[in-house]
Chain A
Amino acid sequence: MRWNLTILISVVVIAVSYGLYQLSYEVQALEKNIGKVRSEILVNEQAIQILKAEWAYQNRPAAIQELTAKYLPLLLVAPYQVVALRELPERQMDPSVKNIFGVPIPRTKPRFKRIPEIRLPNGALHMATYQLPRAE
């Protein structure tokens, strides 16, 4: 009986210590991993900064004006050519039409249509990675 107890306890001790060591190794591996992920995040952040600057640079009004002058045969838009949606008159129905069934008439202007908010999927998000060209 006593021997049985001793064997049982030693088996439990071995099992628990194996489990603990396993846990410890896993934690170390994960820590190494998180360090890598953090440095990747930093690299990505720096890349995002560069891309943001690039985006702002490419969207300079001067550059866009140059491109429009090159590719679009447009003159300067006069203010009276710009009309807000609510200034457009509501579409009048043709008096010759007896009933509206079968006649495709938009009942409402699209202006009041609310676009539903797009919900992000539940769960961990994956970051889009941008790989900088590595110096060989």
Chain B
Amino acid sequence: MGAFYSSNDGMDKAAHRSSIQLEGSAKETLEQGRNRLVVAGVLFAFCFVILAGRLVGLALSGAGLSRTASEQNVSPKAAPIPLVGRAPVYDRVGNLLAITLDTVSLFADPTKVLNADDAANKIKSVIGELSSSSLVTKLGSKRNFVWVKRHLTPGQQQKINDLGIPGLFFRNEEKRVYPLGPLTAHLVGYTDIDNKGIAGVEKYFDEKLSGKSGAQAEPVHLSVDMRVQYALRDELSRYMSIFRAVGASGLVMDVETSEILGMVSLPDFDPNRPQDFPNNNKFNKTTLGVYEMGSTFKTFTTAMALDLRSVSLRNGYDATKPIRIAGFRIRDDHPKKRWLSVPEIYMYSSNIGTAKMADAVGPKKHKAFLTKLGLLRKPAVELPEVGAPILPPRWNSLETMTISYGHGLSVSPLQLSTAVGAMVNGGIYRNPTILKQADAKIEGRQVIRKKTSDIVRKLMRLVVEKGTGKKAAAKGYLVGGKTGTAEKAINGRYKRDALITSFVSAFPMNNPRYVVFAMLDEPKGNASTHGYRSAGWTTAPIVSRLISRIGPILGIPTIDEGSEKMQRLMHIPTYSREKKLATF
């Protein structure tokens, strides 16, 4: 009974907990299910607690912290503005040379135009420059898309919209604008109506500017300085009109980096409306044009002869009589009719003396030297319009003689200026560039010894001080240079009345910083030059005025060029054997 009771008591307790008491496998399954439910419940509860905790944490502290962090990130600097469309072009200090603006173009769907004649008349009343006959044929055609006018002004757009002609639609487009107009026309170039670069930097850096190859469109920073460029263009155009020249070209280049600070070719054009100018204006005389440069080449001949030690400053050549060779006659423009020392040959620009100097070196070495100076190859510069030099078909003694004074070899002003830069900067040739260079020193190659370069500087100074280039002197700066007057070769013959006058100079000569080049195409003499039209009269004054203008802009300190210290620094003995009057 006791056992029964106890069992009964147990049953009673179990019944108290659950009304149904299961036995065997059913009980086990139920227990398992309950356990699983508890475990899952605990897991879920745990997850929710974590989520809630995170939420509370974020609500209390996280949001505020992250906000101040983002503020700190944002407030000191403005976020970079993503470029819309074609990237701009800047000069070396960040002045805008080319920019893309949004404009509106007008197109028509002729199938929707009700009355072509009426519509054409109405459109012509707003945009007068369109011809009504072509408008009528356009609007009456069977196509469903014709351009009516690209790049409307906002006013025109408003008026066209007010006309309310069915079938006319606007499309947003981009237009390339050159705020400085013709100032950097040849350098920056221009684009066609679809904003595809077709000249100058616009063409060379087309992919970079437009971001076509998937990359972000990037602006281009040129090495050109707007102020120098303007001074150069202003002076060249002034002297071009004074001497009634048909063209002019000028270049300012840094001798240490070969960066181009100014590059002008006249006549030029407005890149905002290139179709209004003849093709002649679009020709870049400075990089694409190649000319026989005349006596400026004597700089290279003299440097070569001195560098190869073929002749010393003390030596010289007899320039009494013209040279007769292979039916040609080499004569002097400023004949002295006596023995001339090397400084005198350079100073008086003697063709005879220079020809003999080059002949003594020989054609092979002459050619090798000019190759080193990059005068016989197409120069590497970031422009599509680069002219290759015109070399003589063979290079023998006669060619060496004529090339020694700049005839028989045509090079571009860019090549000449780069080579002259190498002559005065200590003898290091660097490739010319139109891109702004970082501060890092640019690699170059030594072409002449430093000592020769020092002598060339003094010789160039001598030309301005006492020789053919006196008019290039600028008060406050030690200007040195070389004149070059060449007859134009037209149809294989030299034309006596058509000259190319050039002047290549560097300043300040005690420590050259910039090469300045100026060239006039077919200048005519006038009363102020007593009818002369050689380089010493026509292009040397351009350089003088230009250097006075750009010297302060470029921050070149002025010096008293007449002071004894400077005279001694630039002194070079001429070793002249000129017969002086006997004194008693």
Using a CB–CB cutoff of 8 Å, the interface residues on chain A facing chain B are 42, 45-46, 49-50, 52-57, 59-62, 65, 76-80, 82, 84, 87, 119-125, 135
Q: Is the CB of A60 within 8 A of B100?
A: no
| A80: chain B residues within 8 A (beta carbon) | 475-476, 558
Residue in A53, A59, A77, A135 whose beta carbon sits within 8 Å of that of B177 in the complex? A53
Residue B75 at the chain A interface, CB threshold 8 Å? yes
| B551: chain A residues within 8 A (beta carbon) | 79
Residue in A60, A120, A124 whose beta carbon sits within 8 Å of that of B179 in the complex? A60
| A122: chain B residues within 8 A (beta carbon) | 71-72, 75
Q: Is the CB of B84 within 8 A of A52?
A: no
The 14 listed contacts between A and B (C-beta, < 8 Å) are A46-B84, A53-B99, A53-B179, A59-B95, A61-B183, A65-B230, A76-B549, A77-B552, A80-B476, A80-B558, A122-B71, A122-B72, A125-B74, A135-B158
Chain B CB count within 10 A is highest, among A45, A50, A79, for: A79
- Counting from the closest, the 8 A-B pairs by CB-CB distance are A56-B179, A61-B230, A79-B476, A56-B96, A57-B179, A82-B552, A80-B476, A79-B551
Q: Is the CB of A53 within 8 A of B548?
A: no
| A125 CA to B74 CA, complexed, in Å | 8
| A124: chain B residues within 8 A (beta carbon) | 71, 74-75
Residue in B95, B100, B552 whose beta carbon sits within 8 Å of that of A79 in the complex? B552
Query: A60-B180, A79-B556, A124-B75 known; 20 other A-B pairs, CB under 8 Å?
Result: A45-B81, A46-B84, A49-B102, A53-B101, A55-B96, A57-B179, A60-B181, A62-B181, A65-B234, A77-B552, A79-B474, A79-B476, A79-B548, A79-B551, A80-B475, A82-B558, A84-B557, A119-B76, A122-B72, A124-B74
Chain B CB count within 10 A is highest, among A45, A56, A60, A123, for: A56
| B549: chain A residues within 8 A (beta carbon) | 76
Q: Is the CB of B102 within 8 A of A46?
A: yes
Count, A-B residue pairs, CB within 8 A? 84
| A61 CA to B226 CA, complexed, in Å | 8
A111 CB to closest chain B CB (Å) equals: 15
Q: Is the CB of A79 within 8 A of B477?
A: yes
| B234: chain A residues within 8 A (beta carbon) | 62, 65
In the complex, chain B residues 40-71 whose Cβ is within 8 Å of any chain A Cβ: 71
**Chain A, residue nearest B560 (CB):** A80
Residue in A57, A65, A79, A84 whose beta carbon sits within 8 Å of that of B475 in the complex? A79
Q: Is the CB of B158 within 8 A of A62?
A: no
Residue in A78, A87, A121, A135 whose beta carbon sits within 8 Å of that of B548 in the complex? A78
Q: Is the CB of B558 within 8 A of A120?
A: no
In the complex, chain B residues 167-204 whose Cβ is within 8 Å of any chain A Cβ: 177, 179-181, 183
